[in-house]
Chain A
Amino acid sequence: MSQMPRPDTTELRAKYPGVFERPASARLAMPAMIVGALAIFIYGLVDLDFSPTKLITGMSQLGWITMMMIPPNPGSSFPLYMQALGETLSIALLGTTLAALLALPVSLLAARNIIASNLIRFPVRRFLDSIRGVDTLIWALVWINVVGLGPFAGVLAIMVSDFGAFGKLFSEAIEAADRKQVEGIRASGGNALHEIRFGLLPQVLPVIAGQVLYFIESNTRSATIIGIVGAGGIGLQLAEQIRVLEWQKVSFLILMILIAVAAIDFISSKLRFAIIGQRAVV
């Protein structure tokens, strides 16, 4: 083994001062950021009433609750829960479909390559943005005020909040479409509607279908939580059982939700690949 010759660092130092002696501001930036982040964290812990005793008693409570959850047991309400789960899946499917149908025409208005004028596009986009800024749960509360408690309010809540998301996603898909096919239709004498129908839709429909399927999947999750505020489905049962401390039923319901979500995940990813091929866009 031969010793490696030691490089002459003095010369290198003289040559590249920036590498060996970084300015103080660059060296201090990282520690300063970490200290700042920690300071806010500690302030947050104090302000939000964190205390070790609360944490420990809470943890022991949680441990006790977990013990009570085992084994999961629906008691005699299994048929009721299955019905509630069906309701949840219905809410997700129906809400997403309605949202997609409503969003398709609006997304055309928000796409740069269809509507060139900023005057229409800008307000449409801001409108969609503010709909998305409001959480699904809030929409559910609003619709409960309008059509009363029950799953129908859930369908409408999912419809409205997804309308905002779909409008944005669809318009992005339309903007990403290839110009050339539209130009081909125009060259052969098609009018504006023909251009959309034969030049644009064949390109964007598979992308849109993929996105809708993905949203049905993620809305199965949203549909479970809007029940908590009274908009039907399995979330309603779950919130009720938590309030009356029936922990075995709670764990059974959570298990049902997990299995349902996994099943929907599986089915929709299969369908998505069938529709858009292996190049998963979403």
Chain B
Amino acid sequence: MATAISILPAQQLATLNDAYRKAVARKRLKATVAAAVFCAALFIAALGADVNLHTFFTYFGNFLSYFDRILTLDSGARVWTDPVEWFWGLKKWLRLLGETLLISYVGTLTGAVFAFALNFFAAQNTAPGPWVRFIVRRLLEFARTVPGIVFALIFVIAFGLGPMAGVLAIAIHTTGALGKLFAEIVENADMKPVEGIRSTGASWLSCMRFAILPQVSAGYASYALLRFEINVREASVMGFVGAGGIGQELVVAIRKFYYSDVSAILVTIIVTVFIIDISTGWLRGRLFGKETRR
């Protein structure tokens, strides 16, 4: 059942082809110009960042052999042939990892409490006045944009070396990040319960407590758990600036070229992060069912 494909008359075809080519040519020109601008930006960036391909190719072998070196014990054997020797400091590292987890836990909880206190003032539908909202929003933005480790650097000087600086730095950053997310949940909440409660003559506080809170608390807890996950990673590097946790040990091992220690500490960190990710994911699914599992 071969059917001939009917071809349009040549004249009609020519105009159609012409229009098609024009449309494609315009698109191509646009894409070329965009690509050229992007390449120029990259070139300027390469000059700005001191990119030296010669160094890169000379030392790239070092990068690969670095992994070879961190997987070799002092005796020259591979690390996995002698796990006891590889993880010789496991007891100390586990204690420091515990400290890291505590730093992120205390920091997350403190940050979540502050975010909770502030978010009703930042959400459009519940803020008592536009000025309050503007100030609270800028405050949260500031806390969120300045990286946590910069806060840690400053707090280490104010509060002294140690985990306290790390906790406070994480708490501030968490306040900023969670405050914004919490406010967004509140903005999506149904306002009819608020009207109902206000019509009985309730104060602003009672409106928040009995109309908004029951709608949003599950979302809050879910976001706080997610933040805890992120903060565990963050806390693992707080030690780089002296703010407690496992980071201190890692930075010493890297700087002093204790190769097998580097890989051992990295493995413990990665495993811990995996376990935390999986267990908080499980907890979120368990606590809030499927609808909040995004």
Q: A: which residues have CB within 8 A of B? A: 37, 40-41, 43-45, 47-50, 54-55, 58-59, 61-62, 65, 86-87, 89-91, 93-94, 97, 129-130, 133-135, 137-138, 141-143, 145-148, 150-152, 154-156, 221-222, 224-225, 228-229, 232, 238-239, 242, 245, 250, 254, 257-258, 261-262
Contact = CB atoms under 8 A, between A and B. Distances in A.
A160 to B, nearest CB: 9
Given A221-B145, A261-B145, A93 B45 contact: yes
B163 interface: yes
A155 B51 contact: yes
Nearest to B234: A135
Interface in B249-294: 250-251, 254-255, 257, 266, 269-270, 273-274
Contacts of A58: 155, 158-160, 164
A54 B161 CA distance: 12
Interface-centre pick from A44, A129, A148, A258 (highest chain B CB count, 10 A)? A44
Contacts of A137: 149, 237, 240
Contact of B147 (A62, A145, A224, A242): A224
Given A135-B237, A221-B147, A146 B62 contact: yes
Contacts of B240: 137, 228-229
A48 B99 contact: yes
Given A50-B164, A94-B45, A245 B157 contact: yes
A208 B228 CA distance: 28
A257 B142 CA distance: 11
Nearest to B67: A142
A178 B62 CA distance: 43
**B contact residues, range:** 35 or more
Given A133-B270, A232-B50, A54 B159 contact: yes
Nearest to B245: A48
Given A93-B41, A138-B254, A242-B153, 9 more contacts: A47-B99, A48-B163, A49-B162, A90-B46, A90-B49, A134-B269, A151-B48, A152-B49, A156-B56
Interface-centre pick from A135, A143, A222, A245 (highest chain B CB count, 10 A)? A135
Instruction: Please classify the interface of chain B as helix (H, G, I), strand (E, B), loop, or mixed, using the class held by over half of its residues.
Output: helix
A96 to B, nearest CB: 10
A141 B266 CA distance: 13
B140 interface: no
A226 to B, nearest CB: 10
19 contacts: A37-B109, A47-B99, A48-B103, A49-B163, A58-B159, A58-B164, A87-B50, A90-B48, A91-B49, A97-B42, A133-B233, A134-B266, A148-B55, A221-B145, A224-B150, A225-B147, A225-B149, A232-B49, A242-B154
B59 interface: yes
B7 interface: no
A245 B236 CA distance: 26
Interface in B23-52: 41-42, 44-52
Contacts of A91: 45, 49
A91 B49 CA distance: 6
Nearest to A40: B105
A254 B150 contact: yes
B46 A258 contact: no
Nearest to B156: A242
Contact of A138 (B149, B150, B167, B250): B250
A50 B162 CA distance: 10
A223 to B, nearest CB: 10
B241 interface: yes
A143 B67 CA distance: 12
A81 B258 CA distance: 35
A120 B155 CA distance: 47
Contacts of A254: 146, 150
Contacts of B274: 129, 133
Contact of A41 (B52, B103, B106, B237): B106
B239 to A, nearest CB: 10
B66 interface: yes
B3 to A, nearest CB: 17
A61 B159 contact: yes
Given A41-B109, A151-B50, A258 B145 contact: yes
A83 B71 CA distance: 39
Contacts of A229: 240, 251
B42 A94 contact: yes
Contacts of A245: 157
B139 interface: no
Contacts of A225: 147, 149-150
